[in-house]
């Protein structure tokens, strides 16, 4: 039976790259996004094994309807990619509180909704994985990206907890942790870190790492977290070895603005 993958926020950016890559590898692909017109256009462009639909990840009811729609199309749901997310940058106090709340609602509650609503399908599937989009911002709290960084720490925690809890069901829950990726989300971003670290990763880089997560063997040697790119991997490894004050000082240095 052809495996299937359901992707939230799949109409553009990383989600689109994941959809294209997995379609090329013979998967049935679910492209669900709040921008339903763009999602359906991408599905039509890919071909008969792709299906586009509407999904506001903050709505549990929309998750239920979207997953049911895709399950009817694909036969079963093997892989859930919780990709949808937003980012506000700049000084914490200069970002209105509604935007901070919206970040948490989409980036955290969207993942909780997706995992919870998809569980009955994943439990029944012959092969099941959840891949969450975390971030290198979940390694150490980031200045100018406070609510975004906090949301990705939450995603990291959800991933770690469910990866243990759902082992008994044969479901691995993993995440990828890229640094900054060349998408619309980082355009005109107001943060010292991006000025100092730059944006080298492409959506395709992240998509390939997600494919590796899916193809990895289902055992304890497969790490729960997968940093994407040399810089993110270096930060991840160093954070485990360095004293806390060194991590703080290094992140303070990286967050300094050039103007």
Strands laid side by side in the 128-133 sheet: 50-54, 28-33, 4-8, 79-82, 128-133, 171-178, 225-228
- Give the integer Cα–Cα distance in Å for 79 and 86: 22
Residue 148: active-site member: yes
Q: How crowded is residue 81: how many other Cβ atoms within 10 Å of its Cβ? A: 28
Where on the phi/psi map is residue 241: left (φ > 0), alpha (ψ -120 to 50), or beta?
A: alpha
Catalytic residue among 27, 32, 140, 148: 148
Residues 6+ apart with CB under 8 A from 83: 7, 8, 9, 10, 14, 15, 18, 133
The residues carrying an active-site annotation are 148
């Amino acid at each position: 039976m052809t495996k299937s993958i359901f992707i939230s926020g799949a109409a553009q950016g990383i989600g689109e790259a994941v959809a294209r890559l997995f379609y090329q590898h013979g998967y049935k692909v679910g492209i669900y996004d709040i921008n339903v017109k763009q999602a359906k256009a991408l599905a039509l462009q890919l071909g008969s094994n792709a299906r586009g639909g509407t999904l506001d990840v903050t709505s549990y009811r929309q998750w239920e309807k979207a997953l049911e729609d895709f399950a009817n199309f694909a036969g079963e749901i093997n892989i859930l990619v919780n990709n949808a997310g937003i980012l506000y940058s700049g000084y914490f106090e200069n970002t209105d509180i509604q935007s901070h709340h919206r970040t948490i609602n989409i980036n955290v509650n969207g993942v909780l909704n997706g995992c919870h609503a998809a569980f009955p399908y994943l439990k029944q599937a012959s092969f099941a994985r959840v891949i969450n989009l975390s971030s290198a911002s979940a390694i150490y709290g980031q200045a100018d990206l406070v609510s975004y960084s906090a949301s990705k720490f939450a995603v990291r925690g959800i991933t770690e907890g469910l990866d243990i809890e759902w082992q008994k069901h044969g479901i691995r829950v993993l995440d990828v942790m890229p640094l900054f990726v060349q998408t619309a989300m980082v355009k005109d971003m107001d943060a010292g870190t991006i000025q100092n670290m730059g944006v080298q990763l492409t959506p395709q880089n992240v998509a390939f790492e997600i494919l590796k997560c899916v193809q990895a063997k289902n055992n304890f040697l497969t790490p729960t977290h997968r940093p994407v790119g040399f810089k993110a991997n270096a930060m991840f490894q160093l954070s485990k070895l360095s004293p806390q004050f060194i991590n703080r000082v290094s992140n303070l240095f990286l967050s300094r603005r050039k103007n």
